[in-house]
Amino acid sequence: MAYLSLFFSAFIAATLLPSSSELVMTAMIASGDYLIWLLWLSATVGNVLGSCVNYWLGTQVMRFKDRKWFPVSQKSIDKAEQQFNKYGIYSLLFAWLPIVGDPLTVVGGIFRVQFSIFLLLVTLGKGARYLAVLAFAVGLDKFLF
């Protein structure tokens, strides 16, 4: 049940809702009652699936762009597309970053990045981030040796 709680915490943290799965994971590591690799897997899979929800939302949002209430102008959309094209799809490796990471996954959906590439890049970035959280929580010397 605890692994499922971490999964959902990570899932919510990947959406546009505020949450901190790193704190949950660190507390679970500190307790010493859980398998480290299962914590990593639960957090990574939950976080990646949350990013997939963002991607899907991105694919759907543009059908509303001609509505008066739509909060983003065409000029802003064009500018975002130019920026995304400038830095390329590899910017999705940074989807783990606070503040910019979650919107970046929505942008990936808006600009229809091939889903398999999206999934690979986001999984690599988020998996590496949770690996770093584990290393920090366990202690780098114990983690590496």
Question: Which residues have a Cβ under 8 Å from the Cβ of 15 and sit 6 or more positions away?
Answer: 50, 53, 54, 102
Reported confidence tier of residue 144, pLDDT bands at 50, 70, 90: low
Q: What is the pLDDT of residue 86?
A: 84
Average pLDDT over residues 93-112: 90
Residue 32: left if φ>0, alpha if ψ -120 to 50, beta else—which one?
left
Over residues 12-52, the pLDDT tens digits come to 999 867 778 988 999 999 888 999 999 999 999 999 999 99
Count Cα atoms within 13 angstroms, Cβ side, for 104: 25
Q: What is the pLDDT of residue 83?
A: 82
Average pLDDT over residues 108-123: 95
Share above pLDDT 70 across residues of the chain, in percent, rounded to a whole number: 95
The H helix count followed by the E strand count for the chain is 7, 0
**What is residue 139's three-state secondary structure?**
coil
pTM, to two decimals: 0.87
Q: What is the pLDDT of residue 127?
A: 96
